[in-house]
Structure 1
């Protein structure tokens, strides 16, 4: 796997992360958010002698594009080339981005209170159920037995998280090769996806 633009994400200052967070609050009414994280399966043909490594839960062979997106649908960071059989959580947990979050070198601002509160909360990414709940990773509540406040949080988190899905859609509609089943080997597919993302950066 190759981390794309991890150097850029690593170079963000606390003020730049706070500006991303302010935009999430302004546009999506979700505070302290430094990005929306998700994975996209890019179809490819079955690589020779790969067994089921590239075969995903959706029933086709793929390479995974894992990306972090800001409130304006712009890519902040991406990991291109995860095998289709790997889950989003596995790819993120093995990524340099996760290591930077854990060791504190990503440059997040110091914790701040939520609106209308005085208790400090860490800045975080938003993700779906595939990710583990952590101080710097917010995910929705389980759908079973939710209270009204939990339903409201899930709704607002879903709106904030939707930007990464929309960014994938914008990328795929601009470069429609991403909508087809690529006939190249995974290494070439990674290069194609990297070129597409570089063109929109």
Structure 2
């Protein structure tokens, strides 16, 4: 699964604009807990808020329900925001190395000037320059309610992709008893096979990422650690 490049991100953004009416969106991001048997001597590392043991599948999905970036192996006790922060993709998002398209003007909103390309996520994720989450609270203005509706509509594609994945592969409907290392390989394999099957049904006019990974860069591994959720934009750690 090659990491999307600038032109791939542009094609993903065009898909979200066409299908979900959310401009400058390069993917919907979310985490899925893959239930496993507790590894020996693992303590509470894999114990999650659902009172099960799990690995976290963190995924970025495009408008066609294709997995474009996946990170598997986060400890079950970590939140989605923590899994993102401790992943290689999260590092790339923070340091600007993902080769996202440059800021552009959204048609019909020229008064706002140049706006960045963004991922959309739920309340579990932090607010970043290239990652949007819903406005919190209940007493919201009409504009903020409309924004939350549009964001939720675009974000649901990743939850739908997880639903399709679970319906296709029986392993996600039971406790996986293999080691965490083997489980990671199995989850990655199902994501690749999911894309292969989905591309069979996508019209030929839809742009897709080249299958060859020889020339595509990869994201380096990042250490796993605990974290806290953020409700506001995270400041630059270098400041």
1:90 to 82, 85, 96: 82
Q: Secondary structure at the match of 2:58?
A: strand
Query: Matches of 1:103 and 1:60 in 2, distance apart?
Result: 34
2:61 to 54, 65, 69: 69
In structure 2, what is the equivalent of residue 135 of structure 1?
A: 129
TM-fit CA distance, 1:113 = 1.6
Question: How big is each residue's C-alpha offset from its partner over 1:19-59, in whole Å with a ceiling of 9 and x where there is no partner?
Answer: 11111011111110000000000111111111111010111
Query: Matches of 1:190 and 1:71 in 2, distance apart?
Result: 25
Pick which of 163-172 and 111-120 moved more.
111-120
Structure-1-length-normalised TM-score: 0.92
Query: Matches of 2:28 and 2:67 in 1, distance apart?
Result: 10
2:116 to 118, 122, 125: 122
1:12 to 5, 20, 39: 5
CA RMSD of aligned residues (A): 1.2
Query: Matches of 2:181 and 2:58 in 1, distance apart?
Result: 16
Which sections of structure 2, spanning at least 5 residues, go unmatched?
196-239
2:164 to 160, 170, 187: 170
Query: Matches of 2:41 and 2:107 in 1, distance apart?
Result: 54
Structure-2-length-normalised TM-score: 0.78
In structure 2, what is the equivalent of residue 191 of structure 1?
A: 185
Which sections of structure 1, spanning at least 5 residues, go unmatched?
none
Q: Which has the higher helix share?
A: 1
Question: Where do 1:139-150 residues align within 5 Å?
Answer: 139-150=133-144
Question: In the alignment, does 2:147 pair up with 1:156?
Answer: no
* Total equivalences in the alignment: 193
Q: Secondary structure at the match of 2:91?
A: helix
Query: Matches of 2:42 and 2:5 in 1, distance apart?
Result: 38
Query: Matches of 1:194 and 1:110 in 2, distance apart?
Result: 30
TM-fit CA distance, 1:103 = 2.6
Query: Matches of 2:79 and 2:31 in 1, distance apart?
Result: 9
Question: In the alignment, does 2:92 pair up with 1:100?
Answer: yes
Question: How big is each residue's C-alpha offset from its partner over 1:126-178, in whole Å with a ceiling of 9 and x where there is no partner?
Answer: 01101111110010010332111111111110010000001111111111111
TM-fit CA distance, 1:63 = 0.7
